[in-house]
Chain A
């Protein structure tokens, strides 16, 4: 599903440049549930952004669904993000002026799906995360856990191949965190590849493959608690 070879990335400022990724080689198969761990500055978020086509890499090779992801135009990147990828962020990133249902339906708007159809689908997905009753509430009227579940429903609505989650439980208490992880496991059981970045050991343990990043390189890999389906 995902194949990285010698991916490098540096950030440049006017006076110096900082190499964040120093040659990442990584293969993730379809249906895997992977967590990326590392201290802050290890490059784990940058790696996730590159995987999510939210950021560009300097050199190396990235194959997503057997297609090379280098030199993409903004439009192509937008299309791949929309069709293959789903995102869950630490700060949820819901649009505050839209209701839960409208937030969930938004990715389908960019697929030019009919309004009625996308609202119906959004309700289905909200139901899956147990928030059907809250469909017409604004994000500010929801708890953090509820907001994150809305965000998960939004990431799922396009039936992506891969879901990328950047510290999805970072802003949640441990009870809610475990609920969210349960939803992720369920999604993963349907065959969707899950990749989460976290710095919480117990969250990482709930995935089936843990990749440790240190100073821009993969330090080691471990197997988590759940078995691969």
Chain B
């Protein structure tokens, strides 16, 4: 039911008290505007953090070989250890390891050559499972597969940066051959990644490279722990350590021989920072809402006080208490809704403008990415403001509607 008359009353009353209308509107507008900006920036920080970590598998152990520091079973301290493919197989069988990968670096100096050009980019020799560790995006062809591994095929997957250096834009590199260490490898795929410098490399099948060097060695072993949480990741790390210690005759208390980098520790730190950031954003956000609520409540109180005489006159002329209360509450709700909506729109406008500017300038900030706002959250905040404005108006309105019109008119 739309009571046009009532709205006309509300409009005329608001438009004839410009200062108090503007003050009320401003406090609501500011509260919502700040909240939107704050949430947007918070989200931007968060997005950048998750972006930096989401490309690679999150729960990964990197295992490298070092020197023993404790003599054990007749073997002296200071012995260099090294891993081989059977060690990798053994780790693959441990509980909690989702999949494993490894890196092998061929010995000697060699370049990646094509026709008359040659590059000194990295040559990484990995098993096909490595795909899940780095998550490269294949722009053409395929990644290494199990058949390449089993048959020790001479194939290569190259990064986008390598393709750019060696091939023209319209050339199809698939099927061409790169020469590494005097051996021709057929190109089967081209990949790209989030950061360009990570595509300055080529991948060879681990088994092929081992055959070329005549060895079973692997240099780095990588364990993907899937969705293991921090505690589980620590347990897996320990079981890997034990398994390798036994296999390589390393003292169980030797913390130096087996080097392990556990991503879970990193991830834990980042999540901690994010949690604090979130708490901070909520703290400030709720603060600004409370400030808005107090502002609206205060102004409503003053408005009702100021209008006591008017209320008395209206009552003398036949206004019922309910009509007085609903008049004040409707005015308040109307004002806070409009002001809140404008605050929301302005805040979103600023956020979008920032997004656009970043897009146009292709600004890639390490710590700030894709600011966005959870509309639902902001609407809830707006609703809180509107309700508090209504309640703030309601309480003094009820009191004002109750006082005897004679007393009200005298004030």
Contact = CB atoms under 8 A, between A and B. Distances in A.
A87 B320 contact: no
A32 to B, nearest CB: 22
A111 interface: yes
A50 to B, nearest CB: 10
Residue of B4, B13, B315 contacting most chain A CB atoms (<10 Å): B315
A54 interface: yes
A110 B318 contact: yes
B94 to A, nearest CB: 80
A15 B102 CA distance: 94
B379 interface: no
A154 B17 CA distance: 23
Given A54-B316, A75-B321, A81-B316, A97 B406 contact: no
A168 interface: no
Given A49-B406, A75-B321, A75-B322, A109 B5 contact: yes
A93 B404 contact: no
Q: Across chains A and B, which 7 residue pairs bring their CB atoms closest together, nearest first? A: A82-B318, A97-B16, A110-B318, A78-B320, A107-B317, A75-B320, A93-B313
Interface in B1-48: 4-5, 8-9, 12-13, 16-17
B313 to A, nearest CB: 5
Residue of A79, A81, A94, A111 contacting most chain B CB atoms (<10 Å): A81
Contacts of A81: 315-318
Interface string A182-196: 000000000000000
Contacts of A111: 318
5 contacts: A49-B406, A55-B406, A78-B315, A83-B318, A97-B13
Contacts of B8: 115
Contacts of A74: 320-321, 401-402
Contacts of A137: none
A106 interface: yes
Contacts of B319: 78, 110
Contacts of B371: none
Interface of A: 49, 52, 54-55, 74-75, 78-79, 81-83, 87, 89, 91, 93-95, 97-98, 102, 106-107, 109-112, 115, 154, 158
B243 interface: no
Contacts of A115: 4-5, 8
Nearest to A118: B5
A87 B317 contact: yes
Interface in B298-312: 309-310, 312
A79 B9 CA distance: 20
Contacts of B9: 109
B59 to A, nearest CB: 68
B409 interface: yes
Given A54-B404, A54-B405, A109-B9, A95 B316 contact: no
A79 B318 contact: yes
B409 A93 contact: yes
B92 interface: no
Nearest to B15: A97
A98 B401 CA distance: 21
Contacts of B322: 75
